[in-house]
Amino acid sequence: MKIALAQIDYHIGNFEGNLSKMLAAVESAKEQGADLICFGELAVCGYPPRDFLEFDDFIRQSQASVEALKQVSQGIGIVVGAPSRNPVKAGKDLYNSAYFLSEGEVIGIQHKALLPTYDIFDEYRYFEPATSFQTITFKGKKIALSICEDIWNVGNENPLYTICPLDEMMHEKPDFILNLSASPFDYAHAIARIQVIRANVERYGIPLFYANHTGAQTDIIFDGGSIVMSPDGQVFDEMPYFEECLKVYDLEEVLRGGRSSEQPKNKVQLIHDALVLGIRDYFRKLGFKKAILGLSGGIDSAVTVVLATKALGPENVRVLLMPSQFSSGHSVDDARQLAENLGVAYDIIAIRPMYEAFETALKTQFEGQPFNVTEENIQARIRGTLLMAMSNKFGHILLNTTNKSEMAVGYGTLYGDMCGGISVLGDVYKTEVYELANYLNAAAEVIPKNSIVKPPSAELRPGQKDSDSLPPYEILDPLLFQYIECHQGPRELIEMGFEEALVKRVLRMVNINEFKREQAAPVLRVSSKGFGMGRRMPIVGKYLS
């Protein structure tokens, strides 16, 4: 038997586009002699469809796509993920299902049993869990069909669940496992994914074919990396990251094993590739073409514009240089040099006259008051207004350049430097931004060296440095990581060696600035705990504040 895995960049709700890609994949698989082709979880509608699932028409169109695939299943088996209606008037209205199509018929359906409700997942909101499990026989082979999370409770050891779907099928002695997945990217997840698949293979002693999505759905990025694992526990093949791909595998060769083929898993490269794809798909899927951002001469905007240029092409990126009376000359020079290095269009608009107009307008009200964060925020909001004006006038989408460290502690101005349609670096700590900058400069100096080595500054008052308001990033970022990603409280952080006063100060900054993050642009997710859907905190909570 020859089995094809189709790793596709689906588009939520784009039934025509998704179906077109799947039909092309079926045709290609047939030409390569495949007996069976497997697509990803909820492939017909894209993942995660969220409240689109509450529309009857959405489900009707999903079913129409299944019907269209059924019509081309002559001479090939097609396994595809789609929502299906629950015929019983009890529980949720829908199942998250895997359809097995062959010779114009549905020869089997397996529903998903383990419905994740953690981090970015909220499947139990929509779906009824499966309670029955059976293999499907196709061309003399028994196939254990499973969907994504259903393989993540090996041996019923995951405390989130009380059933192991594959355990329920093993009495039928299946020949191999098919898993339809929509497994979101984070920079450590590919390793964990292989470990889970290996644990299943070692437990059951049969091959596992795992078909994942690729592409980005706003903030959620899918890395692909679909896997075939042979019974010896070796990765027979791991498909490319962040690319659409179709591969055909001979079951007999997979059964023999003796081969190991994995993709490299360099953290900085993975984050880089994920962000480029995230920008590209955000624009492509929403029908946008051109991006704009403010280029300050600092490292965050420098990294963002390089990533945007890679994603969209230099002809589709425009930058504004908006110096104030507090901007250093080298910042303007560095920004101009970077724009010229990349070949992107740039404009220089000095904000001093506008800032002085605000000072004049508010002179009576601010009489006797010292210069403080108010005047700093006015500058940031002038810049935000200029960027949004250009965005509105020319149809450019504003890219936000705030990094995760700044977003965590509220070191940003609402309606100023926090403006934007998508946040590119909002899940990348400042120390990781430096790693990205060095990675981007590895072959040749694209980002001027001065943007990387100079002390970071918002340049909103004379001689300002980030370190005036924040701990050094090499101390701040590990503390934030332990709090945000690892859920360590103040006692644990202090026991790790962080100073008690610093812990209290930083955790308070994180928690009192939740209202800012609630209003921020969607953040491209590259870590295990990004701001947004995956981290839901109360704005007025008292805990740790």
Specify the 3-state DSSP secondary structure of 177. strand
Q: Which of 279-283, 324-328, 475-479 has the lowest mean pLDDT?
A: 324-328
pLDDT for residue 209 = 98
* In the predicted structure, residue 458 carries a pLDDT above the cut 80: no
* In the predicted structure, residue 64 carries a pLDDT above the cut 70: yes
User: How many angstroms separate the CA atoms of 313 and 309, rounded?
Assistant: 5
Q: Is 287 exposed, middle or buried (0-12, 13-18, 19+ CB in 10 A)?
A: exposed
Ramachandran angles phi, psi of 7, nearest 5° = -105, 105
* In the predicted structure, residue 469 carries a pLDDT above the cut 90: no
Of these residues, 148, 376, 404, 516, which one is catalytic?
Answer: 148
Please say if 359 is a catalytic residue. Answer: no
pLDDT for residue 468 = 78
Residues 441-463 have a mean pLDDT of 87
User: How many angstroms separate the CA atoms of 9 and 18, rounded?
Assistant: 8
State whether the Cα torsion 458-461-467-468 is positive or negative.
Answer: negative
Cα-Cα-Cα-Cα torsion 90, 94, 100, 105, nearest 10 degrees, comes to 80
Ramachandran angles phi, psi of 260, nearest 5° = -135, 125
Residues 64-87 have a mean pLDDT of 98
User: How many angstroms separate the CA atoms of 308 and 399, rounded?
Assistant: 9
pLDDT for residue 281 = 98
Is the pTM higher than 0.75? The answer reads yes
Q: Which domains does the chain have, with CATH numbers?
A: 2-255 (3.60.110.10), 270-467 (3.40.50.620)
> What is the tens place of the pLDDT at every residue in 337-358?
999 999 999 999 999 999 999 9
Q: Which residues make Cβ contacts (< 8 Å) with residue 266, sequence separation at least 6?
A: none
Residues 32-46 have a mean pLDDT of 98
pLDDT for residue 543 = 76
pLDDT for residue 331 = 85
Specify the 3-state DSSP secondary structure of 294. strand
CA angle, 178 then 183 then 186, to 5°: 145
> What is the tens place of the pLDDT at every residue in 503-538?
999 999 999 999 999 999 999 999 999 999 999 999
CB contact at 8 A, 424 and 403: no
pLDDT for residue 115 = 97
Of these residues, 21, 41, 123, 430, which one is catalytic?
Answer: 41
> What is the tens place of the pLDDT at every residue in 389-439?
999 999 999 999 999 999 999 999 999 999 999 999 999 999 999 999 999
Of these residues, 21, 70, 112, 404, which one is catalytic?
Answer: 112
Nearest to 227 by CA among 271, 170, 282, 183: 183
Q: Is 264 exposed, middle or buried (0-12, 13-18, 19+ CB in 10 A)?
A: exposed
pLDDT for residue 456 = 80
* In the predicted structure, residue 545 carries a pLDDT above the cut 70: no
What rounded mean pLDDT belongs to the chain?
96
Please say if 290 is a catalytic residue. Answer: no
Instruction: Return the amino acid letter for 262.
Output: E
* In the predicted structure, residue 544 carries a pLDDT above the cut 90: no
Estimate the share of the chain in helix, then strand, then coil, as percent rounded to the nearest 5: 40, 20, 40
User: How many angstroms separate the CA atoms of 491 and 474, rounded?
Assistant: 21
Please say if 492 is a catalytic residue. Answer: no
State whether the Cα torsion 166-167-168-170 is positive or negative.
Answer: positive
Q: 127: phi > 0 → left, psi -120 to 50 → alpha, else beta; which?
A: beta
CA angle, 265 then 533 then 110, to 5°: 75
* In the predicted structure, residue 330 carries a pLDDT above the cut 90: no
pLDDT for residue 17 = 98
pLDDT band at residue 467 using 50, 70 and 90 as cut-offs: confident
Cross-strand partners of 147: 180
Residues 190-208 have a mean pLDDT of 97
pLDDT for residue 327 = 76
